[in-house]
Amino acid sequence: MVHISSTFTAFAALSLSVSLALVSAHSHALEKRAAATCSTTYAPIAAGSYPAIDCVPFTQDPQVQAWLKLVDLTKAPVFPQSADGVCPPDPSTLPKEQCWWTCQKCEAPDDITSCPTPGTWGLTYDDGPSPDSPRLYANLKEHNQKATLFIVGSRAVSYPNTLKQAYNEGHHIAIHTYSHHSMTSLTNEQIVAELKWTEKAIFDVIGVTPIYWRPPFGDVDARVRYIATQLGYKTSMWTQGFDTNDWNIPAKTATPQSVVDTFKGWLAKIPSMQTGFIVLQHDIFPEEVDVALNGILPVAYSTKGLAMQPIPQCLNDAKPYKEGAGTFKLVSNGTSGNGSNGAGKALAVGGTQTALMAGSSFLVAAFAAIF
């Protein structure tokens, strides 16, 4: 068990000794972090403390047992636990009703995968807070830009002041599980423990309860969704094909330039998209923050007609916490807040062909200036 201390350096070293499992029938390669050294023997967690950093919480803990009463697990869909989120050799053998995001490219009706308005970018960062997160926050603050931050519970325990800073500056705080394990590999009870311990760790720092969550690696199926929904959470993914691969830079399987080139390629798609999009990015390693500050964000800030917004903003949700708005402020449509670069006048005018063509001319002019 831990109180408010962390072994982030060890976590980073373990995370860099990662292996990548390519997922059949899906273009996204699941990032596999090496597991922390976790005890297999349960020990009670003292009041005011939390489970071991980066370890799946024990389910026999009295706190977890109380949380389990919030979910009717007898009605949970029954599917086999995965082997660390890795897809079977032939994903077509999976039952359609499993709706496994990573292996079947399946999006459930309630999954949040895009922003409704064309030209709108749902700006998100996963895995923080970290020692490098304040550099990202400073840049976003300088540009009056807010983002959705998917927080790992262990990082909230380790860096409460950084989490508090993000919340106080108006960023949207959301859940990214406690230990960052593949959710389909866990038991029903472990899934509850991962989500609720993260909720508690966040609440203990900022005083509000997140209702948005994102599964690590995007690893979610109908069983995991059912449990999350029963606990009152909204499953928030990213748009298929909009993974920056910034998480591959520390592992040396991607470069900052390749990540920026990927982002630039997406910008060319915006005029023809019928909706906005949500992008997968991270802020746990310095290389990930570096590519955001020196590559992606400068291009984004310079792109006319692109509205960068936290997820609740793009969904017009004024109450992204169980308690209400918290420090989040919903900006009215067409204003210049939340990093809007002329949106509301070009791409973000609705879904009509006229609006898309107008947005296209804005972007073509922007590309000529930038690239």
Q: What is the dihedral of CA 335, 340, 346, 348, to 10 degrees?
A: -80
How many Å apart are CA 303 and CA 297, to the nearest integer? Answer: 10
Q: Identify the active-site residue in 127, 172, 282, 317.
A: 282
Of residues 156, 195, 174, the one with CA closest to residue 238? 174
Residue that is written with structure tokens 């009463």 in the block = 69
Residue that is written with structure tokens 């970018």 in the block = 121
Sorted by where each starts, the structural domains of the chain and their CATH numbers stand as: 27-34+50-81+90-370 (3.20.20.370)
Listed in sequence order, the residues at least 6 apart from 157 whose beta carbon sits closer than 8 Å to its beta carbon are 2, 4, 6, 50, 53, 201
Segment 329-351, tens digit of pLDDT? 998 754 334 555 544 433 333 33
Terminal Cα distance for the chain, rounded: 51
- Residue 255: other Cβ atoms inside 10 A: 14
Burial of residue 150 (CB within 10 Å: 0-12, 13-18, 19+) is buried
Pairing outcome for strands 277-278 and 120-122: parallel
For the chain, list residues with pLDDT below 50. 1-34, 334-337, 342-371
Strand partners, 2: 50
Cis before 312 (ω within 30): no
Pairing outcome for strands 19-22 and 234-235: unpaired
Q: Identify the active-site residue in 54, 61, 126, 219.
A: 126
- Residue 353: other Cβ atoms inside 10 A: 7
Residue that is written with structure tokens 């790992």 in the block = 152
How many Å apart are CA 277 and CA 156, to the nearest integer? Answer: 27
126 annotated active-site: yes
CB 317 within 8 A of CB 310: no
Q: What's the pLDDT score for residue 271?
A: 86
180 annotated active-site: no
Q: What's the pLDDT score for residue 349?
A: 30
Strand partners, 30: 21
Q: Measured over all CA atoms, what is the biggest interatomic distance in the chain, rounded to whole angstroms?
A: 63
Structure token digits, residue 320: 């992204």
Q: What's the pLDDT score for residue 332?
A: 78
Listed in sequence order, the residues at least 6 apart from 297 whose beta carbon sits closer than 8 Å to its beta carbon are 139, 143
How many Å apart are CA 37 and CA 53, to the nearest integer? Answer: 9
Q: What's the pLDDT score for residue 370?
A: 35
Q: What's the pLDDT score for residue 339?
A: 57
C-alpha neighbours within 13 Å on the C-beta side of residue 135:
17
Question: φ and ψ at 166, to 5 degrees?
Answer: -60, -45
Segment 63-91, tens digit of pLDDT? 999 999 999 999 999 999 999 999 999 99
